[in-house]
Amino acid sequence: MCGKNLPMLSRRTLHSTVVSQGPIVQFKLSDIGEGIMEVTVKEWYVKEGDRVSQFDSICEVQSDKASVTITSRYDGIIRRLYYDTDATALVGKPLVDIETESSSEVIQEEDVVETPAIAREEHTHQEIKGHKTQATPAVRRLAMENNIKLSEVVGTGKDGRILKEDILNFLAKQTGAILPPTPFQEIQTPPPASAARPVGTLPAIKPPLATPRPVFTGKDVTEPLKGFHKAMVKTMTAALKIPHFGYCDEVDLSCLVALRDELKPLAESRGVKLSYMPFFIKAASIGLLNFPILNASVDEDCQNITYKASHNIGLAMDTSQGLLVPNVKNVQLLSVFQIAKELNRLQTLGSAGQLGAGDLSGGTFTLSNIGSIGGTYAKPVILPPEVAIGALGKIQVLPRFGPAGQVVPAHIMKVSWSADHRIIDGATMCRFSNLWREYLENPSKMILDLK
C-alpha cells in the first residue's frame, strides 16, 4: 500500500518544482522633473493582491506643479503599497512592491513610467487580446469604474484612440441614459435694461443661496500644507519682494456683448463654448505686441530682463484644489475661436483636477477672472517671474451718457492691473490698458488688426 502511494508523492513533488513565484520588484518613484523631490499620493488605482499589466495605472500623485498618473512597467501582482492616500511620497523611494511574472523580463533601471494626467498628445497602451488599445490613464480609469472592457469600445480619436466621450457614449447605450452637458463657468451678462422692473414695484424676493451647514467638531485641526497650497506659499512669498504698481479703469463692453451674442451659436455648432475671456486674452496679446516689456521677466537680482517671444497668457482658475493658473500657449498665433477651444480644454481639466505640468508652466502674462465669482475691483498679485497681471470684474449694466448727451444703458466692466514697478512705469501700464480697452470697446478693430 505504501508502495502505491510513492508514485503519487513523486508526482506532487515534481509539480511543486514547476510552479514558482517571480521576483518581487520595488516600484520606485522616479524623478518627474522641475526639481520636484516629493509628491502627495492623491488616489490609488490598485490594492494589494491586484494583478496589473504594463501601462496599467497604479496611482495618481500631485506635486506643487501638477497631477501625474503613475503607470506600471511590469506584469505581475501588487504585494505592498508603501503609502496611504494623502501621504507624502519621496522621489527615489518605493511606491509599491510588484511580484513579477516569472516569464516576464525584469528591468531594474527606471522603475516608473509616469504620464501627465490626460496629457495633450500622450497616451498609454493596454494589451488586450493581442492588440494595443490606446487610451489615457483617466479614460482607462473611467472604464474600470464602470466595468467596461476597452476592447469592446470603438475609439474615435486619432489612430483609434479611445476618448472619454467614447466611454460615456458606450455607457449611455448600455444603460439608455441621457448624458448631461459638461458644466462650464463664464461671466454672466446682466439682463438688458428693458427687462428691469417697473418703477414703484417691489423686487421679487430671491431665495437664499444654499450653503453647507458648518460642522462644529469641538477641537482645532492642524495639517501640513501640501500640493498646490504649498506651491502658493512659495509663489506669494516671492511676490512680496516685488513693488506692485496698481492701476484701475472701466471698459464699456456693449459692442462686445452684441458681437459675442452673434457668434455664440456659431461656436456652439462647432462644439466650443464661447465666453468673453477669449476676447480679453486676444486683446491683451495685441497690446503686448506694442508693449513687450509687459511680456518679460527679470532675474532674481533684477539685473537682467528677458523679453518673451511667446504670449503664454495665464488664466487664474478657482478649483477644488485651490488657485491654479494654466496658460494658453502662443496666443499671438491663435484666433479668438482657437483660444476659446483651448480654454474649454483647460477648464475641463481644471474641474477634474488633472491639469498637467505643461499647462501650468511657462506663463508670461496673467488675467484673473474674479468677476465670474463676484466683485468689481481687486488688487491682483503678480506671479513671479512675470511682471504684470490683470483682474477682471463682473459685467454690470450701468447708466452712461451717449454721444448726444442722453443717458443710455451700458455693459461696464472694471479692470485692475498690477505691474512690477522696478521695470514698468505707470505711463506704460496706462497706455497698455488704454489700448486693451480700445480693442474691447471696438472688437471689429481687433479683428482687422490681427497680425
Q: Is 14 helix (H, G, I), strand (E, B) or coil?
A: helix
C-alpha cell recorded at residue 253: 463692453
- Catalytic residue (one of 249, 252, 318, 421): 421
Q: Is 131 a catalytic residue?
A: no
Query: How many CA atoms does the CB half-sphere of 426 hold within 13 Å?
Result: 4
Encoded amino acid at 62, one letter? Q
Rounded to an integer, what distance in angstroms lies between the CA atom of residue 389 and that of residue 315?
A: 10
The count of residues in the chain is 451
Confidence of residue 401 (pLDDT cuts 50, 70, 90): very high
Query: Tens digit of pLDDT for each residue in 240-294?
Result: 889 999 999 999 999 999 999 999 999 999 999 999 999 999 999 999 999 999 9
Q: Is 421 a catalytic residue?
A: yes
pTM, to two decimals: 0.60
CB 113 within 8 A of CB 27: no
Beta strands in 223-329 (DSSP E): 244-252, 296-298, 305-307, 313-319, 322-324, 327-328
Rounded to an integer, what distance in angstroms lies between the CA atom of residue 339 and that of residue 341?
A: 5
Helix or strand (DSSP H, E) at 16: helix 2-18
Query: Tens digit of pLDDT for each residue in 9-28?
Result: 333 333 333 334 678 888 88
Query: Tens digit of pLDDT for each residue in 18-74?
Result: 334 678 888 888 766 666 788 888 889 999 999 998 888 899 888 776 778 888 888
* Alpha helices (runs of H) in 19-71, residue ranges in sequence order: none
Mean pLDDT of 307-312: 96
Computed over every residue of the chain, the mean pLDDT equals 79
Query: Tens digit of pLDDT for each residue in 68-127?
Result: 888 888 889 999 999 998 888 888 899 999 998 755 444 443 433 333 443 333 333 333
Q: Is 294 helix (H, G, I), strand (E, B) or coil?
A: helix
- Catalytic residue (one of 31, 299, 425, 449): 425
**In this predicted structure, which of 22-36, 173-187, 271-285, 374-388 has the lowest mean pLDDT?**
173-187
